[in-house]
Structure 1
Amino acid sequence: MDDRQFQKLLDQLDLSWKGYRKVRKGVKKRIARHMQAVGCRTPEAYLRELADNPAALKQCGLLMTVSISRFFRDRNLWRILREEGVPELIRRFPEKLDVWSAGCASGEELHSFRILWEELSRTRGKLPALSLLGTDMNPDYLDRCRAGVYPRSNLREVPEELRLRYFDVRRGGRRCHLKPDLKEGIVWRRHDLFDAPPGPLFHIIFLRNNLLTYYLPHRQREAFAKIVATLAPCGILAIGSHECLPFTPERLIPHDSCPYLFRMRAG
């Protein structure tokens, strides 16, 4: 499948060439295997098969998902959350905080938040109850989330002190294992961002490097409207550092020094 044919596939799936351009090599390999599995010898035949076969279309959608991530991706974002965002939410909501990682891929983001929370508990003592929900449409990614085993390269932004405290990094090994107690209490659930949201209100929503990168604008708007409607007053929305909102609700205010971090104004 050449780039022109791949772009036709993206168009059929309402996906963005700009989002897939840098990751298309691996995606094309998965699609080539799927073409063989459904008996299609040409990209044109494959596109016709997707149009006529809902099961093949669903499987293709899963194969198009991208799981590239790492712990504490974008240090500025995590610094602001640690120093300003989360302490302010704790002050406003002392009973319970609900956090949703929407399109969680392999779970690095939600596990990063759990580490941040554990570090806060070491200095602040009693914290609110915490509900952590990670959702993704790809069940294979959710299995990785639950396993909590990651390549060492995914931890390159984790300080040495935290690596030793929260991971089992075996000598000479290429894989790092989250310590079991860090995985407890996190709910991982299959969910499509275009479906109804998985909860009524969340105090923090991570929507990073997924919907706003890989989908065409009209599809972004469709899903984003549902997602942002679940952000609680004074809640925080985090998107990718190179992403833009498809539209900006009136009460959603960007952070002064981090334009991809937003707070929902009360009232």
Structure 2
Amino acid sequence: MIRLGKMEFLDIVDYIRGRYGINLEKKKVLIECRLRSELDRYGIASFKDYMKAVRADESGQMAGEMINRLTTNYTYFMREFKHFDFIRETILPAATAKNKADYQAWCAGCASGEECYTLAMIFQDYREENSAMPEAHITATDISEGALEHARQGIYPMKELGTLPPKWQEKYCTVRDEKSFEIKKLLKKDIQFKNQNLMEPEGIRKRYDLILCRNVMIYFDADSKKAMISRLENSLKPGGYLIVGLAEVLPREFTTLEFIGAAIYRKPE
């Protein structure tokens, strides 16, 4: 069995931190277990040679496959549901009252798509009840192409169906078989999925009314977190909202955003 040596481990940690801003210095076992299959697939005899191959691959395919293996995150529909209650009860009524032409939302670090589809369900329901709601557009991004492909397909294990309200199960989901269900095209058409490295500022060009970047910053070191918060703040329209994970806090010295509560922040008008 191929083992991950200390110097090889540090090399991988430095590469991931430098390219993606993600801190894996306490994840030696995870790196060794998840990347060993990549070595087997390519017929590479050591982690040192594997990293040489990753750096030599000008297409970036091997680096993409590596980050796919290392950043698979667990998520589910309606996660941290109080955020979605706030969106429905506070954010959308305010946006509707302003008679905005459109409403731009960004799910940054969307993983396998449960978050952005939950948001799309809320938008769709609210639009049906309030015809004056601006036309909503959702951009969902992730660093992992594997996660994005899962999200685009919108197919999930049947056990996740029970996390949705019964009305949404029937309205927005189609049962495929006893093991899986699929999100209906009604929601898929409203979401644009894109590969995005949050540490590359040139890739963030739009300005958004709402950004969800939840349970993403916990993987970043302090410097990377500061840089990412600045990019997210600059990507917000005046009066826009940034929602992070309930376990995440934006240090005051990192941001000028107003703290609303429950990991919700607002950019001054």
| TM-score normalised by L of structure 2 | 0.82
Measured at CA, do residues 248 and 163 of structure 1 come closer, stay the same or move farther in structure 2, by a change above 3 Å?
farther
1:34 aligns with 2:41: no
1:129 aligns with 2:135: yes
1:235 aligns with 2:243: no
Shift of 1:264: 0.9
Which residues in structure 2 correspond to 1:28-67 (within 5 Å)?
Answer: 28-47=32-51, 50=54, 55=60, 56-67=62-73
Shift of 1:11: 4.2
Counterpart amino acid of 2:91? G
1:189 aligns with 2:208: no
Distance 2:181 2:126 in 1: 23
Measured at CA, do residues 248 and 124 of structure 1 come closer, stay the same or move farther in structure 2, by a change above 3 Å?
farther
Cα distance per residue 1:119-176 (max 9 Å; x no partner):
11232233201121112232222222221111233344311222122111356x1212
Distance 2:99 2:26 in 1: 36
Which residues in structure 2 correspond to 1:154-169 (within 5 Å)?
Answer: 154-169=160-175
Q: Pick from 233, 250, 258: which aligns with 1:253? A: 258
Give yes or no for contact 1:73–1:157 (8 Å, CA) kept in 2: no
Shift of 1:5: 7.5
Counterpart amino acid of 2:165? P
Distance 2:233 2:203 in 1: 10
Match of 2:227 in 1: 222
Match of 2:74 in 1: 68
Measured at CA, do residues 229 and 176 of structure 1 come closer, stay the same or move farther in structure 2, by a change above 3 Å?
same
Which residues in structure 2 correspond to 1:96-115 (within 5 Å)?
Answer: 96-115=102-121
Match of 1:10 in 2: 13
Q: How many residues align?
A: 259
Shift of 1:39: 4.1
Measured at CA, do residues 149 and 32 of structure 1 come closer, stay the same or move farther in structure 2, by a change above 3 Å?
same
Percent of aligned positions with the same letter in both sequences? 20
Give yes or no for contact 2:78–2:84 (8 Å, CA) kept in 1: yes
Match of 1:149 in 2: 155
Measured at CA, do residues 109 and 40 of structure 1 come closer, stay the same or move farther in structure 2, by a change above 3 Å?
same
Measured at CA, do residues 168 and 52 of structure 1 come closer, stay the same or move farther in structure 2, by a change above 3 Å?
closer
Give yes or no for contact 2:241–2:265 (8 Å, CA) kept in 1: yes
Distance 1:106 1:129 in 2: 24
Q: Which runs of 5+ in 1 are unaligned?
A: none
SS at match of 2:163: coil
Match of 1:264 in 2: 267
Q: Pick from 205, 208, 214: which aligns with 1:208? A: 214
| TM-score normalised by L of structure 1 | 0.83
Q: Pick from 186, 198, 205: which aligns with 2:204? A: 198
SS at match of 1:120: helix
Counterpart amino acid of 2:264? L
Give yes or no for contact 1:168–1:177 (8 Å, CA) kept in 2: yes
Distance 1:263 1:110 in 2: 20
Distance 2:43 2:113 in 1: 34
Shift of 1:30: 3.2
Distance 1:188 1:203 in 2: 18
1:244 aligns with 2:254: no
Counterpart amino acid of 1:36? D
Cα distance per residue 1:65-89 (max 9 Å; x no partner):
2242111111111111111122222
SS at match of 1:13: helix
Give yes or no for contact 1:197–1:227 (8 Å, CA) kept in 2: no
Query: What value does the CA root-mean-square deviation take over the aligned residues?
Result: 2.8
